Structure 1
Amino acid sequence: MMNKKLVIGIAGITCSGKSTLATKIQSLIPDSIILNQDDYFLPADDPRHVYIAELHHQNWDIITSVDMEKMYTDLLKWINNDIEQSSPSVQTRVLILEGFLIFNYEPIANLCNMKFFLTLNKEECWERRKERSYDPPDVPGYFEMVVWPEYIRHKSELDQNKKLYDSIVFIDGSRTQQDIFNIVSSAIIERLA
């Protein structure tokens, strides 16, 4: 087994199965924790949000809607053993970072030892998204005007950064959850060996 800590990043489009995968990976690795980007969204009344006048809605699909500096600080605390452990006798060695934009924030991307990115085509993403509930809820037109164009823009940023792009394992999120888990868990087990 390894002696140093391992940071596993799981990113990708909305509704691609990131949270499900992170939970399954955590169950595979007993001494692991999950840090979820959704826990770092700014409060709805935060003045830093970008307002979309045509939709009368905030843009929740850009990096400035998330307190990435706080997420980064929490990640560094974990790396430096300053984060509270669930049990003092257990030393957590694996942190699973999960979020739609974790690789678009360079300080966090640089700390990920393994990077996985789940993709979906537009139709599959919409079919899944319309079945989910959000707080605040999506307004009509939000997916077409915001969610999908922002995903294309953020994915393009990754595509254009050759060093970062080459360090990411891209996986088709329309595969079965078991297939995705098998791909990722095999790579992690090999890394931990």
Structure 2
Amino acid sequence: MRSRLVLYVSNMATTGSLENPFERKVDPSGHRKRWRIVGLSGISGGGKSTLAYSLLAALPTTVVYLGQDEYILPDDHPSHPKAAEEVGCVNKETIRSIDMKKMLADIYKILSSDPNTIAITDYSTLLERKKVIGCGLPEPRQPPYGCRQHSSFPAVLLVDGFLLYMNCEVSALCDLRYFFTLTKAECWSRRSKRKFTNSLSMSSPQYFESCVWPSYTEDFSRMSSSVTDVHLLDGTSSPSVVHERVLKDIFNVLEYTE
């Protein structure tokens, strides 16, 4: 029986270009000796953060987590596109609504850090982080969520985001790329049960129809045609099955040395 978990999207570089912008660039910082980067992207409510939480508990090395949701700009920020009038709020489902410059700066700061001494915050409250979504990051900011273990393995940076591969620089950095999928009906069923601290309109069916689902379908189409070596994960699969599959993949890249 064909696995529901993973399909490979590969060899998708378009012709007519001398350089594939998604190929990993030469790394002058040497972070490859210390870190492996795992991207978790895809549909809202698909299981990205749940998977990240389980990996933080299971991996036998230092693990640090960054979530793209935390970089969503505040409601009143002028970068947000306007949603349809009947939605009643701004559209936060576009790359314009995310402070990617700040997120990239934080990623590179982590990659330049010694995993044995990097400042991290206990990850036990990771799944309660909804209170920060759309608030903008506070200053000074607490260190990223993580778990430190001294190990002979490289450390792991988990990067979680609903539009993660929309930024080609983030995509190129990843050693492993995952993308969660759900049907429209299942996505709405899950999302309708979520609470959004700053905007009740984000829980509405109008926001889902006008903003969330169109953003996902556009991102999926672009990702499928432009980003190489993406593992598609069925968000309705058992979290334990997804966890075991991804954990095995990560062990493979931890054991690989250049």
Q: Does 1:180 align with 2:242?
A: yes
What aligned pairs does 1:24-103 form with structure 2 within 5 A after superposition?
Answer: 24-29=54-59, 30-54=61-85, 55-81=87-113, 84-86=118-120, 93-103=155-165
Which of residues 221, 242, 246 in structure 2 aligns to 1:156? 221
Contact 2:68–2:103 (CA under 8 A) maintained in structure 1: yes
**Stretch of structure 1 that moved more, 24-33 or 94-103:** 24-33
Q: 1:171 aligns with which of 233, 249, 254?
A: 233
Give the length in aligned residue pairs: 189
Distance 1:89 1:11, change over 3 A: closer
Percent identity over paired residues: 32
**One-letter amino acid matched to 2:239:** Q
Cα distance in 1 for partners of 2:35, 2:233 equals 24
Q: Is the 8 A contact 2:71 2:99 kept in 1?
A: yes
User: Hey, what does 1:16 align to over in structure 2?
Assistant: 46
- Paired with 2:244 and 2:182, the residues of 1 have a C-alpha distance of 18
Question: Larger Cα Rg: Structure 1 or Structure 2?
Answer: 2
Tell me the TM-score normalised to structure 1 length: 0.90
Unaligned runs of 5+ in 2: 1-31, 121-146
Q: 1:182 Cα shift? A: 1.2
- What is residue 251 of structure 2 aligned with on the other side? 189
When structure 1 is superposed on structure 2, of 146-155 and 134-143 the one drifting more is 134-143
Structure 1 runs of 4+ with >3 Å offset: 86-92
Distance 1:95 1:89, change over 3 A: closer
Cα distance in 2 for residues equivalent to 1:90 and 1:184? 22
Tell me the SS of whatever aligns to 2:180: strand
Distance 1:128 1:16 in 2: 9
With the length of structure 2 as denominator, give the TM-score of the two structures.
0.68
Higher percent of residues as helix: 1
Task: State the match for 1:128 in structure 2.
Answer: 190
5+ long unaligned stretches in structure 1: none
The CA RMSD measured in Å over matched residues stands at 2.2
1:104 and 2:169 correspond: no
Shift of 1:43: 1.1
* Distance of 1:53 and 1:181 partners within structure 2: 38
Distance in 1, Cα, partners of 2:97 & 2:254 = 34
Taking the aligned partners of 2:109 and 2:212, their CA distance within structure 1 comes to 31
